Amino acid sequence: MVMNINEAIQTLTQKLIDRGTTVISVEDLSKNGKYGNARLTTDSHEIYHVKYTKSGYKPKDSDRVSSGAKELDAKLKFAIKSFGNGEDTLNGIDEDLILYLLSMMNNGFVCFFVTVLSDGTTLWCRADSFYEFVMRYDTFFKFPKTNVPVCEVPMGWLKPWGEPIVGYPSKEI
């Protein structure tokens, strides 16, 4: 079981070591109000944004959605249905965090979004893929109180972090 962001960081650090990468710095973003989020930088110019969450966010049933939010609800459910691979929840991070990762990619880092669930399941994808998906399918939402947009992707769209993946190449045409 993974109980909190610190344990999630430890989990991810070990997984990165298993893949032959060394973590050189860890930035816990809780102090900036981004609870459950941290950034790990490796010796090979990579940034892994790790988010700890107990489980994904499951959108409400459609009949409980207010009329103003119906359009967003439809978009979220379309994304889940088309790309969720049978998993019906969403996961994501604040808009400013993903934009930060994009800006770091412009600076030569390769950035990944990683989420660690309480049962230890680790899912990940490249930060730019994450961002492009969100923008493409408009899977943003804002919580009325904070007014901070959150970028969401279907949990099943993220790739499971398993053993190092070995495969044959594809030939470029």
Partner 1 sequence: MKSIGIDYGTGTSVLAEWMGTSSRIDTSITKEGLVLSDVIYGMDGKMILDIDPFLSTIACAKVERNIKRRLMAESESDNCVEIEYLKSLVVGRVSYIFHNFISNSSDAVAKVILTCPANTGQAYRESLFDIAKQVGLPSVDIVDEPTAAAVHHGLGQKATANERWMVIDWGCGTLDVSMIQRTAGSPDLKVVSIAGNNHLGGSDMDKLLADHLATKYGFISDDLKPYEAERIKKRLSDEIEVEDKLELFSGGNVPIKVTRDELELLVAPLIDKCSEIVEQALQDAHWESIGPDRIIATGGPILMPCVKRYLIELTDEYGAELNDRDPLTSVALGAARLAEIKRIGGLLVTSKVSKSIGIRVAEGDNTDVYHIVIHRGEERPVRRSVELSTSVDLQDIIEIEIREGDNESSAEANSMIARLNAVVRPDNKGSVRMKLNLSLSDNGGMEAYLEPLGDSNSLREVQPVGIKLGTERKGTATAELRAGDPVSEFKEQVLDINADPDTARQIYDRLKVKYHPDRQPENHDHWVQRLEAMDNLFNDYLRDIERQMQSSNVPNLPWDISDELESYYIDEVLAKRMTHCLANEIGTPGQQEVMTRLLKKYPDYRRILASYLFGIKRNKVLQDLLAKDDRPHVGLVVLLQNIPDKPIRERHEVLKAAYRVPEAKVREFLSNPALEIDKLYELVPSNAQAEVNPINGAPAHQKTDLQYEYLNGDTIITGNTYPVKDQIKAAARMRGTAASFDYGRKAWVIKGKHITDKDIFG
Q: How far apart are CA 66 and CA 20, in angstroms?
A: 49
Question: Contact between 140 and partner 1 (CB under 8 A)?
Answer: yes
Contacting partner 1 (CB under 8 A), which of 19, 25, 62, 120? 19
Phi, psi of 108 (to 5 degrees): 100, 0
- Least separation in angstroms between CB 156 and partner 1: 12
DSSP 90-145: EEEEEHHHHHHHHHHHHTT-EEEEEEEETTS-EEEEEHHHHHHHHHHHT-EEE-TT
As a whole number of angstroms, the longest Cα–Cα distance in the chain is 51
Query: Residues 85-124: x/- map of binding to partner 1 (CB under 8 A)?
Result: ----------x---x--xx--x---x-x-----------x
Stretch that binds partner 1, among 3-11, 31-39, 86-94, 157-165 (CB under 8 A): 157-165
CB of 4 or CB of 15, closer to partner 1:
15
Stretch that binds partner 1, among 1-9, 30-38, 66-74, 113-121 (CB under 8 A): 66-74
**Pairing mode, strands 110-117 and 46-53:** parallel
Task: Please tell me the number of Cα atoms within 13 Å of 143 on its side-chain side.
Answer: 8
List contacts with partner 1 (CB under 8 A).
19-20, 44-46, 66-69, 71-72, 78, 82-83, 95, 99, 102-103, 106, 110, 112, 124-126, 129, 132, 135-138, 140-144, 147, 159, 164-173
